[in-house]
Amino acid sequence: MMRIPITGRRGDLWLRLVSAWLAAVVPLALPEHAGAQAVTEWGIERGDSAAPVWVIEFADFGCPACAGFATESFPAVDREFIQTGKVHWRFVPFVLGPFRHSKWAAAAALCAAEQNAFWKMHDRLFEEQSRWSKARDPKAVLSGIALELRLDSLRFAGCLDSKAIAGKVSHFNRLARRLLVRATPTFFVNQQRVKGALPLETFRRVLMEAANP
């Protein structure tokens, strides 16, 4: 099993080293334009990059287990660990395969990032998963959510169908494959790979153990 050592202030260095290793296998290419809320090659950031614990979450917006973690556990993790500077989080939206309309949801989140609203869209996509995933016209539902979030609707609609956003989604899909991510959610907590939507108490313990190895 491959482990990614990403801890504290050395985190960016380790990400660059692993990125270089991956590029040596098959070059990664992320479109240059990132917008107001930076979309890095390792996902969307949240929290202090100098935190002693780094977490990279690979999730599919159509995954019920991911929705469970996002709505039931992540708010407490954010409040207790990320906002207090103990954990630096990166969210990688990718499309695992079996979930309906997931590629449009991932695109919607990345388009929201261009208007500095990734995390607001992240929350709504998971909260309303059953709504957009069952829709006949998912783009219309997603555009409606964007409007409710007071995003520029014309800009959002143009972004949703853009090649640049499709390229970003493809990049994250390739990244997940290269890291052998086959289940969602999957987390890399410093050097440990953690699979599945763990109960909050269990995830708390994982984070505390990572902070005190």
pLDDT value at 63 more than 90: yes
- Work out the average pLDDT over 6-15: 48
pLDDT tier at 15 (50, 70, 90 boundaries)?
A: low
Asked if residue 125 lies in contact with residue 105, where contact means CB atoms within 8 angstroms, the answer is yes
Structure tokens at 6: 């990403």
pLDDT value at 92 more than 90: yes
pLDDT value at 164 more than 90: yes
150: DSSP letter: T
- Work out the average pLDDT over 29-55: 73
Torsion on CA atoms 75, 79, 80, 82, rounded to nearest 10:
100
Q: What is the DSSP string of 91-130?
A: EEE---SSSTTHHHHHHHHHHHHTTT-HHHHHHHHHHTHH
Q: Which of 24-28, 49-53, 186-190 has the lowest mean pLDDT?
A: 24-28
185: DSSP letter: S
- CA dist 175 and 30 (Å) reads 11
pLDDT value at 54 more than 60: yes
pLDDT at 18: 53
- Work out the average pLDDT over 20-47: 58
Q: What backbone phi and psi angles, to 5 degrees, belong to 32?
A: -65, -40
Domains of the chain, start order? 8-211 (3.40.30.10)
pLDDT tier at 62 (50, 70, 90 boundaries)?
A: very high
pLDDT at 66: 96
pLDDT per residue over 101-142, tens digit each?
A: 999 999 999 999 999 999 999 999 999 999 999 999 999 999
pLDDT tier at 78 (50, 70, 90 boundaries)?
A: very high
pLDDT tier at 213 (50, 70, 90 boundaries)?
A: confident
Q: What's the chain's average pLDDT?
A: 85
| pTM for the predicted model, two decimal places | 0.83
Phi-psi region of 35 (alpha: psi -120 to 50; beta: other; left: phi over 0): left
- Work out the average pLDDT over 192-210: 93
